[in-house]
Amino acid sequence: MTLPAPPPNPTVYMQGTRRLDEIAANARQLCYQEDYSFTEGWNDNTVAEIANLGLNQIYDRITQINQVANIQEYRQDVLAGIQEYDIPQDVKMGIQAMDVRYLYGPQDWQFVTLQQTGIQDRFGYPTNIPSTYCIRNGKMLLSPTPNISRNGSLIVNYQKRMRSLDYRRGKVTNITSPFGNVVNISNANPAVVTTEFAHGLTTGMKVGLGGVFQPDFLINTTSIITVLSPTTFSLNGVDTSVSNPFSGAPIWYQNPVQFTLNFTVSSQKDVNLKANADSILDKVDWITFVDRNGSPIIDAIPINSYNMLSQVITCDSNYVIPFPSWSVFQAIINNMDTVYVVTGDYASTHSELDRQTEDLLVEYMVLRLLRLQSAAEPTKDQLYAETQVMDRLATAYRRYRPSVNKIQFQTTQRSNFGYMGGRGAY
């Protein structure tokens, strides 16, 4: 099947950042007076929790003051006639959206600031330039619906949250559920889906539809199907008789989506993959796929089960992979690069800290591990030492952390009709 080129990865990690297992090994080593092995002391899951406790305390400190650290920018292509757009997990996990803009021209200063409204206040008519947005079910809805397509024209500045850290818990071999391209969705009741090639499905199965297409209310939905022919099936209970005619390039999946893991050891870094997977994957609700550098590929995958014998992860039965993430995942798999699984809906294997801040995080972890070792209430000196390290961590983080600057000023120009947003410049 033909796949679009993967979008650029918005996550850029500072050069020299380390994996959690490297940071944890450093902290463990500093807690012992003699040589030790990786099987001694606190288990990996406990050390990961302590590291993430430190990260959360850093972020609590830096967000208590009004400053621009961690302001990041996300850009989304806008397509004619499409009102709803997926919000990336990076934006969902942000502290707040600082501003939302629509780029109506080729220059970055040619934008309209969109005002946030309620779902009931949307305008229904088509227009070249939307003026408001609202958020519903993890999607951003533009209003009025734009009737032209522009690349990267929806711009969101948001205060980014740091990803939680986790160990590599397996390599993702591939998606094992059947999938394929959709070439038509009829305007009928029930809707009939035509696939590019024979689908191999049977009546009573559940199928998900992903992508950017019309009718757009079917995007990221799942339905029980009735098979009509080797290349067609109907969506039980789905009426598209009065919907927009079909357009776009949807993908169908058999649900629940399943992924197969492997634990091939290619270096010392991969020795604990199987043990790390078996210790927790059947106990968590969410996982994330990342590349070898910890950059996210697919966030927030809800999982129903993990089979230790077959090494298969089964997702929630209603889960549909977001289309941009699907494109990146397939491109990486087709290029025979490695995809790792980690636990958490917004996670990574690598820190987003520079080396100095990482060393301070290690110092904090050492203090917490030593306190854990004592199995007693912390003393005033211990608490003071931890507070001092945290204050230094927050200062070091603010010093190095890159940030996308917001709009510097904005001139509001509203029409007499009151539906045009403000126009501004950088």
Instruction: Give the confidence band of 425 by pLDDT, cuts at 50, 70, 90.
Output: very low
Higher pLDDT, 241 or 81: 241
Domain boundary among 130, 161, 192: 161
> Which tops the pLDDT comparison, 220 or 397?
220
Tell me what pLDDT residue 125 has. 61
Distance CA 243, CA 216 (A): 9
The answer to whether position 99 is within a domain reads yes
Percent of the chain with pLDDT over 70: 82
Mean pLDDT, residues 11-31 taken together: 72
- Return the percentage of the chain with pLDDT > 90, whole number: 26
pLDDT grade, residue 408 (50/70/90)?
very low
pLDDT digits (tens, 9 = 90+) for 316-343: 999 998 888 888 898 888 888 899 999 9
**Is the pLDDT assigned to residue 191 strictly greater than 90?**
yes
Q: Does 419 reside within a domain?
A: no
Q: What is the pLDDT at residue 347?
A: 92
pLDDT of residue 111 exceeding 50, the answer is: yes
Whether a cis peptide bond, with omega within 30° of 0, leads into 6 is: no
Same domain assignment for residues 217 and 185: yes
**Cα gap 171→339, rounded to integer Å:** 6
Q: 391 by DSSP, 3-state: which?
A: helix
Number of domains forming the structure of the chain: 2
In a domain, 282, yes or no: no
pLDDT category at 375 given cuts 50, 70, 90 is low
Residue 42 lies in a domain: no
Q: What are the pLDDT digits (tens) for 379-389?
A: 777 788 888 88
Query: How does pLDDT run across 114-157, given as a tens digit for each residue?
Result: 888 876 666 656 677 888 888 877 788 888 888 888 888 898 88
Classify 40 as helix, strand or coil.
coil
Give the domain-ending residue among 237, 255, 273: 255
Which DSSP state fits 256?
Answer: S
The predicted-structure confidence for 337-362, as pLDDT tens digits, reads as follows: 899 999 998 899 998 887 778 888 88
Question: From CA 216, how far away is CA 194, in angstroms rounded?
Answer: 16
Higher per-residue confidence, 1 vs 103:
103
What H or E segment, with its residue span, contains residue 53? Answer: helix 44-62
Give a yes or no: residue 124 inside a domain: yes
Contact 362, 23 (CB under 8 A): yes
CA-nearest of 119, 113, 91 to 100 is: 113
Write down which residue in 126, 161, 196 finishes a domain. Answer: 161
- Give residue 67's pLDDT band: very low, low, confident or very high (50, 70, 90): low
Name the residue with higher pLDDT: 369 or 196.
196
Do 154 and 182 belong to one domain? no
Q: Are 120 and 141 in contact (CB under 8 A)?
A: no
What global pTM score does this model have? 0.76
Looking at the domain assignment, is residue 262 inside a domain? no
At 230, which CATH number?
2.40.30.180
Domain-located, residue 204:
yes
Contact call for residues 220 and 319 (beta carbons, < 8 A): no
- Judge if 157 and 76 occupy the same domain: yes
Look at residues 191, 187, 184, 190 and name the one whose alpha carbon lies nearest to residue 231: 184
3-state helix, strand and coil shares in percent for the chain, rounded to the nearest 5:
25, 30, 45
Give the model confidence (pLDDT) of 235-282 as tens digits. 999 999 988 889 888 999 999 999 999 998 888 888 889 999 998 999
Summarize pLDDT for 25-56 with one digit per residue, the tens.
Answer: 888 877 765 444 444 567 788 888 888 888 88
Lowest-confidence range among 100-114, 124-138, 161-175, 303-317? 124-138
- In a domain, residue 14? The reply is no
Q: Whole domain around residue 79: which residue ranges?
A: 71-161
CA distances, 142 to each of 83, 273, 425 (Å): 5, 43, 21
Q: For the chain, what is the mean pLDDT? A: 80
Q: Which residues pair with 404 in a beta bridge?
A: none
